[in-house]
């Protein structure tokens, strides 16, 4: 892997496979009580501009299980670019910690931190990209289906950061991906183009459409996310009116494969983008997916921070 994890676009197909293979190994070692202290004595600084249940807990536990420590920095403590310039934050933290994880609104904040940091920077979420989520999702699919290449993944909903990362991740490992969004809420064209280029190399297919049923047709995995993300609260009523045809319910799943898996990156707005019947149903692997954020992030931390002398 490169020094930092900013976007799935920065990873080669081999990098993606290395993360998944490492995560599977570390998960197996933990299950048998054989955790290796790969990051003994090392500290991860965690900058949060957005609150999160899964990101904070999974990274803190990941560092603990790897023998290291995690330091939580709240929005009021850092205030990227306000209280202190981003280059100065990067330079100072690099003197204290062995790695930096940032969960922020602007993707440019992650890029600027990485530009000035002497230690690895990990994108815990930005408005453009959510690489840790997508890698954890691939890990979950691999566990449940036994493979990645040749599977059909359908994403239904907003063309957001999760959709961007899934497009790039699936196309790199040979998964066919279909993304259905309402008009005006599509993924960024540059991301779609990069995914199509990766798909040419891996032998997979990329489809973007405004039809949920078309995207889900024959799908092995159906994936959704909230229609209104943090920071978009003023758009909530408008989005609710537009996104209703993209709700993942029993009727929509009828277009998918009989053994379809249902995924959601959480938190879920039950009754909006997904019904209780589906989220709590036999096809749902939502909470296995949430657990695997821990294991894939252990792999990312070990690969990025464990190599430093």
Any residues with CB less than 8 A from the CB of 72 and at least 6 apart, and which? Answer: 46, 48, 56, 60
91 is annotated as an active-site residue? no
For this structure, is 265 an active site residue?
yes
- Residue 277 CA to residue 270 CA, distance in Å, equals 10
Helix (H, G, I), strand (E, B) or coil at 215: helix
Q: Which residues, at least 6 apart from 99, have a Cβ–Cβ distance to it below 8 Å?
A: 42, 43, 44, 45, 119, 120, 121, 122, 301, 304, 305
Which entry of 137, 158, 220, 225 is annotated as an active-site residue?
225
Longest dimension (CA), the chain: 55
- CA 86 centroid distance within chain: 24
Q: Is 133 a catalytic residue?
A: yes
Q: Could you give the angle at which helices 161-172 and 131-145 cross, rounded to 10 degrees?
A: 50
H or E element: which one contains 297? helix 286-305
Instruction: Using alpha carbons, list the distances in angstroms from residue 73 to 79, 80, 207, 252, 274.
Output: 10, 11, 40, 41, 33
Sheet containing strand 121-125, strands side by side: 69-73, 43-48, 99-103, 121-125
Which of these is catalytic: 54, 264, 265, 289? 265
Length of the chain: 309
Catalytic residue among 54, 107, 130, 164: 130
Is 22 within 8 Å of 302 (Cβ atoms)? Answer: yes
Structure tokens of 101?
A: 């994880």
Specify whether 130 is catalytic: yes
> Residues 133, 142, 164, 247: which is the catalytic one?
133
Q: Is 103 annotated as catalytic? A: yes
Let me know if 293 is a catalytic residue.
yes
Catalytic-role residue among 103, 142, 264, 283: 103
> What is the CB-side half-sphere exposure of residue 60 using CA atoms within 13 A?
11
User: Which residue numbers are catalytic?
Assistant: 103, 130, 133, 225, 265, 293
């Amino acid at each position: 892997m490169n020094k930092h994890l900013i976007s799935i676009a920065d990873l080669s197909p081999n990098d993606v496979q290395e993360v998944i293979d490492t995560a599977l190994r570390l998960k197996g070692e933990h299950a048998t009580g054989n955790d290796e202290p790969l990051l003994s004595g090392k500290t991860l600084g965690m900058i949060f501009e957005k609150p999160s249940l899964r990101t904070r807990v999974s990274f803190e536990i990941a560092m603990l299980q790897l023998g290291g420590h995690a330091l939580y920095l709240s929005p009021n403590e850092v205030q990227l670019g306000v209280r202190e310039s981003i280059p100065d934050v990067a330079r100072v933290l690099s003197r204290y910690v062995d790695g930096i994880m940032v969960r922020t609104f602007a993707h440019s904040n992650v890029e600027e931190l990485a530009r000035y940091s002497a230690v690895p920077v990990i994108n815990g979420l930005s408005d453009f990209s959510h690489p840790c989520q997508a890698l954890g999702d691939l890990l979950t699919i691999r566990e449940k289906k036994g493979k990645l290449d040749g599977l059909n993944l359908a994403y239904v909903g907003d063309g957001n950061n999760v959709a961007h990362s899934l497009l790039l991740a699936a196309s790199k490992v040979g998964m066919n991906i279909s993304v259905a969004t309402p008009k005006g809420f599509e993924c960024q064209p540059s991301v779609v183009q990069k995914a199509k280029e990766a798909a040419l190399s891996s032998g997979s297919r990329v489809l973007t459409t405004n039809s949920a049923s078309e995207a889900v047709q024959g799908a092995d995995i159906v994936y959704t996310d909230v229609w209104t993300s943090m920071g978009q609260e003023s758009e909530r009523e408008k989005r609710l009116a537009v996104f209703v045809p993209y709700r993942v319910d029993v009727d929509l799943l009828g277009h998918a494969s009989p053994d379809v898996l249902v995924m959601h990156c959480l938190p879920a707005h039950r009754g909006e983008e997904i019904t209780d019947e589906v989220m709590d149903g036999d096809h749902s692997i939502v909470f296995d997916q949430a657990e695997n954020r821990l294991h894939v992030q252990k792999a990312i931390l070990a690969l990025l921070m464990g190599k430093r002398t």
